[in-house]
Chain A
Amino acid sequence: MFSGDEMAALFTSMGITHVVSIPDSTIGAWHPAIEASPDLRLVRVCREGEAWAVAAGLYLGGATPLVLIQCTGLFESGDSLRNVLHDWKLPIFAVIGYRSYLNQDTLPGDTCLVFTEPVLDAWRIDYRLITTPAQREEIRTHYVACRDAGTPGAALIAEGKA
């Protein structure tokens, strides 16, 4: 739906300094453009729970991080994001790939479609579902609203393949 250049430009325009990420086939295609951006630093971690903690440290250190993961990684993230977002109340923003939302050819009946949005609701993460390229600006708008409110948030990006 979005190219790496588009996403790198979007993150830069949002004032993001560090993108903490584990790739999937959609997000991974954005990594080269993020790495090539002079205004962004890509921080690779080994599991998604780490991503929230690294982002927490970056925020505490004065940076403006963003967590970039797939929804399966959101499931893995549980206790770490609970601690970061709700104990320490850090306003970390995430961009989360929504596996199989647009196409279930590879994984018919993918349970990501069952659990992703209820899990975001359960963790009280205010998110916007992005299903078309025309909504790209909505990511920034939601980010700015969360930043100004000092609250966490997420953009849930519909993905077309597993």
Chain B
Amino acid sequence: MTGSVERMPQLEALRTLHAARRADDVIITSMGAARDWMVLGAGPLDLPLVPSSMGTAPSIGLGIALAQPQRRVIVVNGDGAMLMNLGSLVSITAAGPANLILILADNGVYEITGAQPTAGSAPARADGTSVAFMGMARAAGFRTVHRFSNAADWARSVGSILSATGPTFVLLDVGAVPGSKGPRSPGPAGPRAIELRRHITQDPG
């Protein structure tokens, strides 16, 4: 893609998701999305993936979705993280969990390290065109793919998208916030993992 893209504020896009999610959904967020999700309020079934191994959020989501097929699992990933683990698109569709929704919040940069462009964004590429995440998701075999650049359109569609049979891929064009900080862990990860597993396995899905 060339030229400028309309972008919605990430926090607004996530606020829409926050309002649309069900209480029994598992929401996994990474990097800047994890930071914003914690601002909005993470529930007991949510995993703000901090600390992380960058790129692994979709894979963790795949595992939870396979273990808990009765429960919706929603992953919010960044484009830099997605580029680190593109194979996860194929692993997800190979397993084919109907309950997994992968949302890619694409701002074109590594926001929390100073907004350097990713190798997939138009300014960083020899041909001046950004890579086509929608095309990648389709080619990987996602059952449905959606793209939203406008907050109002996203808000109108989010409910039906989350309710559809997956695996589902959603690309959200979001704006980077220059100078924004990375996410802070809300506490030691080990005890958080124990609590999350307890809630996922004990709360009715």
- The answer to whether B87 touches A47, judged by C-beta atoms less than 8 angstroms apart, is yes
Q: Mark A62-95, 1 if CB is under 8 A from B, else 0.
A: 1101000000000000011011100111100000
Count of chain A residues with a beta carbon within 8 Å of a chain B beta carbon: 33
B residues less than 8 Å from A83 (CB atoms): 51-53, 56
Bound-state Cα–Cα, A87 to B53, Å: 10
A130 at interface by CB-CB < 8 Å: no
- The answer to whether A61 touches B63, judged by C-beta atoms less than 8 angstroms apart, is yes
Bound-state Cα–Cα, A53 to B94, Å: 16
A57 at interface by CB-CB < 8 Å: yes
A18 at interface by CB-CB < 8 Å: yes
- The answer to whether B53 touches A58, judged by C-beta atoms less than 8 angstroms apart, is no
Chain B residue with minimal CB distance to A56? B60
Q: Give B88-123 interface residues, CB cut-off 8 Å to A.
A: 88, 90-91, 94-95
Q: Return B92 CB to nearest CB of chain A, in Å.
A: 10
- The answer to whether A57 touches B65, judged by C-beta atoms less than 8 angstroms apart, is yes
Q: Mark B37-68, 1 if CB is under 8 A from A, else 0.
A: 00000000001000111111001111111111
Count of chain B residues with a beta carbon within 8 Å of a chain A beta carbon: 32
Chain A residue with minimal CB distance to B202? A62
Given A80-B56, A84-B53, A90-B193 in contact, is the A50-B88 Cβ separation under 8 Å? yes
Q: Give B188-205 interface residues, CB cut-off 8 Å to A.
A: 189-190, 192-193, 196-197, 200-201
B85 at interface by CB-CB < 8 Å: yes
Given A60-B196, A62-B67, A83-B56 in contact, is the A54-B51 Cβ separation under 8 Å? no
A23 at interface by CB-CB < 8 Å: no
Given A47-B87, A60-B47 in contact, is the A54-B52 Cβ separation under 8 Å? no
Given A80-B56, A83-B53 in contact, is the A57-B67 Cβ separation under 8 Å? yes
Q: Which residue of B52, B63, B64, B95 has the most chain A CB atoms within 10 A of its CB atom?
A: B63
- The answer to whether B67 touches A43, judged by C-beta atoms less than 8 angstroms apart, is no
A residues less than 8 Å from B91 (CB atoms): 43-46, 50, 54
